[in-house]
Each structure stands twice: as structure tokens, then as C-alpha cells.
Structure 1
């Protein structure tokens, strides 16, 4: 059982400040309990980030494409589910299918988590199924591209659902003035974990000949190791995190089962969203500037390879460099936010992102050093932008509905992630220039930053029923 008898356990007070003078030793275990929970929360970022880094970003796309190409006919076409498509486009369709499923599932996942209060069980279940599917990618070989597609779709769906549940713990673990720092530490842990496993995987991949391992086997080992890592460190998180009693369960769903009650809870939340227009305003701003961030991550290797004519070794090592720098960047921007507020820090980061695109436009072909310098800047602002956006949104959620609202947050992260790539592709199609295509992404940071700058965060937090931090 994930929840043995608690023996009087109560949720720890949301603070790690030293006990006031004169308080007895009874106060000390509360602080230690909270620190243990926070460590468990950080550990899940460390556990899950390898899926994004090693599987989605680096290894699976080229490997699954090669598997599809080996199964293609003379014209380079395959026929999944009887539909003829180009083998080179297969992975893009697979990702799109997984995103569509997430849009349908993530809000319901949040509603079930909030209604039942069984977040540990849900986190354990989704992470277990997702990691097992990731491990099973080891068996994707020869012409089994449909096996790879099915495993990845389920794994990515579980990854998104587990992320919704994981994010929803943040308000329970940090008060308004602590949340930026706690969120930033979580992202930093994630980037460091992703970098550690990616470095080991790259070492295996580059030395596979000397180790007597074929290139395909090396990739399959790297993919499976991400699943093992994800599952192993999730055990730490599930052991240390604790459930909270559900709040604000809709009356019509109290006597219903978990799934049917979750649907009713979700319906009530969708109606309730209209009461919080400023929360929706933030989601709109986040949708825009985060789409810019995600698109840069997605197309940077293509830009570096096609336009700047950089080697594959340079591109992969730049990805690893971004991961390492992002660890320090997340912590640094968290400290800056403590001084000037998270909103101002994010706005400053968006200015840097705009500068990154301008610099990328003028990069010289073959200039690996310039590309590495740009990777350092991207790494520094990437972690902080995402961590502080998460903590800002957590302040805008009505109490008791954290998982449901983070479900919508993840939709704005994943469900609209086609906008940036579409603009990039359309600009290239019209102009024939990757430089124009990369520069077109400035729109997302300017528009998203403008919306965020116009948002009265303090008023939005109060309207959501929360207490604003000292610095917003």
C-alpha cells in the first residue's frame, strides 16, 4: 500500500524558517517533514526529465525514423493503419497523436487527482506505466516501427499525466514567498538529472564500436536506461511525498466513482474558469512565450545543421551544455526573483530570449564557438523561465483545484506546441531561409511578454483567493 496508517501524521506547515525562540522541540519534526517532502518533490524532476532529454529530444526521433525507413517501400512510404505516409514524417505524426491524447486526458487527470486526493497513487501509477513503456523501447528493432510508436505514445501520455499530478504538490510544499525558490530548485534538479544520464548515454553511443556494441543496440540501451532511471528515482518521490485531503469537491460528484466523479469535477471547473479571467490571461501569455521557448528547443538542431552546417557532434554536445548550464540558470533566476519578483524576472528573461533569436540570425556558418556561446545563454534563461512560470501560475489557482488547473497549464504547454513549428516552417517555405524562419519566432516572445506585462499579478492572485507574496 502506498498509504499505510499515518499514525497521526499531519501535513507539515508550509515553511522551513527556524522555529521562533521559546518554541519546544515539538516544532522541529514539522520542519524536517517538510524538507523530506520537498526533497521527494525535487527527486521526481530528477527522475522524469531524462524522458524529455534522452528519449524525445536526442535518441528516439532519428532512431524511429531509421526503423520506419527500413520498412518503407521503394518510394520511401510506409502504411501505418493502412494510411500511406513518408517514412521521414512518421515521428512527427506520432508526437502529434500523443499530444492530442494529452489534451483530452490531462484535465481529467487533474480532476481525478483533486477529487480523490490520491496523488501518490496516481503519480506512482502513471510513472510506472510510462517508465515500463520506455524500457520496452529496447525491443524496437528491425521493422517494428508501429511498436515504437505505440510505446512512445503511451509513455508520453503517462509522462504528461504524471507531470500534472507532480506540479499540483507545489502549493502544498511552499508558501507564497517560498514558491519561486522551491520551483526553481525542482527545475534545477531536473536539468542536472537529464544532463547526467545524457552524458553517460552519449559516452556509450560514441564508444559503441570499442565496446563491441552496434549503433542500433547502443541507442536501444540508451532508451531503456531512461525508463530505468525514471522508475528508480520515482520510488524516492512516492516514498517521501504525502497525500492531502481533497478540498472543494463538487457535491454531485461526492458519491460517484473516481472516473465519473472526475468528469463532473472537470465540468464544474470549466464553468468556474470564467470567474478567473486574469488566470486565463496568464495562460494566454504563457501559451505564447512558452511556445517560443519550446520551438527554439525543437528546431535549434535543425537550424544548426542545415543553416550553420555544424556537425552532429557539435549539435549533441550543445544540447548537453544547455542541460548543465540550465541547472545553474534555474537557481540563479530563482535568486533574482527573490529580489525583484518572479514576473519581472520572467519579463527580463523574455528580453534575453528575443536577443538570442537576433543573435542566431547573424551567426556565421560553421562557427561552432558562437553556437556554443548561444547555447550557454539559452541554458541560463531556459530553466528559470519555465520554473518561475510554474510558480507564478501556482499563485493563480483557486485553493483545492491545483491538479485540475495544472492540467490546463500543461495543455497550454503541449496542446498548442504546433504554433511555433508551424510559423517556423511557413516562414521557411515562403522565404527559403532558415534565418528568416528562426527570426520569425520573435513574435511569440514579444506578444507573450506584452500580455504578461499588462497583467496585474497581485490582483490576479487575490481574485483567485490566495495571498500574494511580498514581491510579485
Structure 2
């Protein structure tokens, strides 16, 4: 019989429940509002998709620079929680501030700020995994974090889309409904974070030193040199950078892609809601599979699945196809995310988890860079959304290749 989760593991999972509400809002609701503002400014569908993709890519660049630096600082005694709070508040306050935007450009600016806070907070949150549980429970706890995050995020999402879909009955304008959605999401995120903030203790750390900044850059330089010679980690980071970029691109641009193809708002929102319900049991199932089969085999299966999902997405035309796409993504999304996180945690030293997860974040955690940039660029050049999305197939294949190289390095 499996041992029950302890309170520290549950409180860690609660943060996944909270931030997943914001993540779902970004994937499903915010692009629709951006589309509304963009149409008012007479932007074309290709411009809309391209600008959204460029903003997402810019976020990744920012987080890619600050992630390893602050992640390394977080490994010093007492610093992980402080930095986590800093970026958590940046994300939550940014989410509240989205309610103030009434122009597409201002919305993108505030979106960038909020998403940087959200993505950066995940560097420290992921690094906390080594502190709140044991190595043999990494797969289970990490997967359950994603699983409960999916189902928990449905609560603020349903409340938000109820405001939007029934705004006329409630005598609300779209702007007023969106303000309510942003406030609900930000409040849910903040409240779900409180148990972890009250109880978390950094178990593994490096003793504080006087010249923290200087020491941080020295440690980063040394660690990057070590990683190059640790071929399993080195090739895994390249693989993760590629395949998780593809995953995050599909997650981050699914609604924008569907909207650009002219699909109905209600179909898009409800289909993504189905994704959350499918992802909950599917992610738990993957946690179980990782006990029966090697974690790396399950991850490889997920990469193959995403190649097939992308091939299907390229041919998407009708609403029913988007529903099928949403179900397919839900089946594999949590598995590849949760097991990738725990698989990496099992390879790294626990007292340097912040530093290593900061480096992992550069390779695609929380946002996609390569995928969104290429999809946006090819879409803008060709004027066809399907051509842009097709690029992801090559990214997944390249990710699979380097993942195999990582496995061979352990033999």
C-alpha cells in the first residue's frame, strides 16, 4: 500500500493548484481578450498570433537570464524562500494589474511582467522538491503536483468563464468580466500559496558567504563546466530544451492558434476545460507507470505521442478536431512535465537544486522560446498558421534524439 502524502508534500502541491489557475488563464482566457483588443486595433490574425508569440519568447529570454543567477543564490541558507516570495508577489500583483489594461500593447507589457514572476517562482518551487520529500518519492509527488494542479485550476477557470460567457445576463461588459476573471485568478493563486509559505524549510543548502554575488557567478561557471562533462545531464538538458519547448508552445499558443483559425470562443474554452479533467487521471496514471516501467521509457513514449499530436494539430480545421486535440494533449501533458521534473531532480545534488533547476529553466521551464519564435516567424512569413505549427515536429524529433544520447551516456 502506498504511503500517504505528508503535510509538507500536500502544501507543496497546493502551490501547483494555485499557480495552475494562472497558467490556465494565460492559455485559455487571456489570448481571447488580447484578440478582442487586437481586433479593436485592426490587427490581422497573423499579426495577432505573431505578437503573442514574440511576447512569450521575450519572457523566456528574461527568465533564461535571471533563472540560473537567482537559482544559484537560492541555494544559500534561507534564500530559497525569500526569492520564491519575491517572484510570487511579482506574478500575483501582475495578474491583478492585468485588469487595468485596455489596449493590446499594455496588456502584453503587463502579461510579460506577470509571466516573468510566475515562471521565475517555478524555479524555486521545483527546487523545493528535494527539500519536501525523499528521492524515491520524487516521481509520485511531482506527478501529483501536476495532477492536482490541473483539477484545482478548474475552480477559478470555471468562475472566470462563467463571468465571460454569461456577462450579458449579469449586465457586465467584456472588460468588466475580464477584470473579475483576473481578480479571481490572482486571489486563488495567492491563497493557495499560503500553506507552503508558512511551513517550508530549506533542508539542503550551501552555507552563506559574505560575497554572495561574486560566489554565485563563480559557482555557476564551475557548475556549467561540470555539466559539460556530465554527459547524461548535458544531453538531457538539450533534449529537455527541445521537447519541452514543443510542449509549452502547444500549451501557450493553443487558444491563439484555434482563434486564428476562426474557431468559436465557447468551443475553445470548453475544450481546454476538458483538457484539465483528462489530465488529472492521466497524470496520476503516469506516476503509476513510472513505478512499473523506467521513468526514461515513459518520457520517451510521451515525446513520440507529441509528435503524433502535432501532426494532427497541423490538419486542424473544425471545432470537433480541436476537442480531440485537447483530449490528446490532456493525456500526455502532465506525464511529460511531472516525470521530466522528477527525473532531473534524481540526477542532481540536493544542495544545489536551485542552481540546477535555474539552469533547467533556461532550457524551457514555464515558457517556450524556440518553438514560439519559430511558429510566430514562419506564420508571419507564410501567412499560414499550419505551416508555423508544423515546425514543432522537427523540434520534437531533435529532442528525442538528444534524449537517447542522454540515456546512452549512462550505459
1:123 aligns with 2:123: no
Cα distance in structure 2, aligned partners of 1:261 and 1:205: 50
Confirm or deny that 1:95 pairs with 2:61: no
Change (3 A) 1:346 1:105: same
1:8 — aligned with what?
A: none
Higher helix share: 2
Listed as ranges, the matches of 1:339-418 within 5 Å are 339-363=292-316, 365-366=317-318, 368-413=319-364, 417-418=368-369
State the secondary structure of the residue aligned to 2:125. Answer: helix
Task: Give 1:219's aligned residue.
Answer: 178
Say which structure, 1 or 2, has more relative contact order (CA 8 Å, 6+ apart). Answer: 2
**How far apart are the structure 1 equivalents of 2:400 and 2:279?**
21
Residue deviations 1:77-107, cap 9 Å, x none? 9xxxxxxxx8886555543443322122111
What CA deviation, in whole Å up to 9, does each residue of 1:285-322 have, x standing for no partner? 11111122122223433443455x53221112111111
With over 3 angstroms needed to count, the CA separation of the structure-2 counterparts of 1:206 and 1:416, relative to structure 1, is closer
Q: Aligned pair in 2 of structure 1 residues 310, 282: CA closer, same or farther (>3 Å)? A: same
2:248 maps to 294
Report the Cα distance in structure 2 between the residues aligned to 1:267 and 1:135, rounded to whole angstroms: 37
C-alpha change, 1:300 and 1:415, in structure 2 (3 Å) is closer
Q: CA offset at residue 423 of structure 1?
A: 3.7
2-side partners of 1:379 and 1:340: how far apart? Answer: 21
Which residue does 2:211 correspond to in 1? Answer: 256
Q: TM-score if structure 1 supplies the norm length?
A: 0.78
List runs of 5+ in structure 1 lacking aligned partners: 1-15, 19-30, 78-85, 461-472
Compare CA radii of gyration and give the structure with the larger one.
Answer: 1
Cα RMSD between the aligned structures? Answer: 3.0
Work out which of the residue numbers 255, 266, 269 in structure 2 matches 1:313: 266
Deviation, 1:200, is 1.4
- Residue number in structure 2 paired with 1:230: 189
Query: Which residue of 433, 450, 453 maps to 2:404?
Result: 453
In the alignment, is the contact (CA less than 8 A) between 2:119 and 2:367 conserved in 1?
no
* Count of aligned residue pairs for this structure pair: 409
Residues in 2 aligned to 1:48 and 1:425: alpha-carbon distance in whole angstroms: 26
- Structure 1 pair 428–140 and aligned structure 2 pair: CA distance change class (3 A): closer
* SS of residue paired to 1:396: coil
Q: Is the contact between residue 9 and residue 132 of structure 2 (CA under 8 Å) also seen in structure 1?
A: yes
Q: 1:69 to 1:300 in 2, by over 3 A?
A: closer
Q: How does 1:51-450 map to 2 (within 5 A)?
A: 51-54=22-25, 56-64=26-34, 66-67=36-37, 91-141=52-102, 143=103, 145-146=105-106, 148-247=107-206, 254-257=209-212, 259-307=213-261, 309-363=262-316, 365-366=317-318, 368-413=319-364, 417-425=368-376, 428=379, 433-450=384-401
The alpha carbon displacement at 1:46 in A equals: 0.7
Give the aligned partner of residue 7 of structure 2.
36
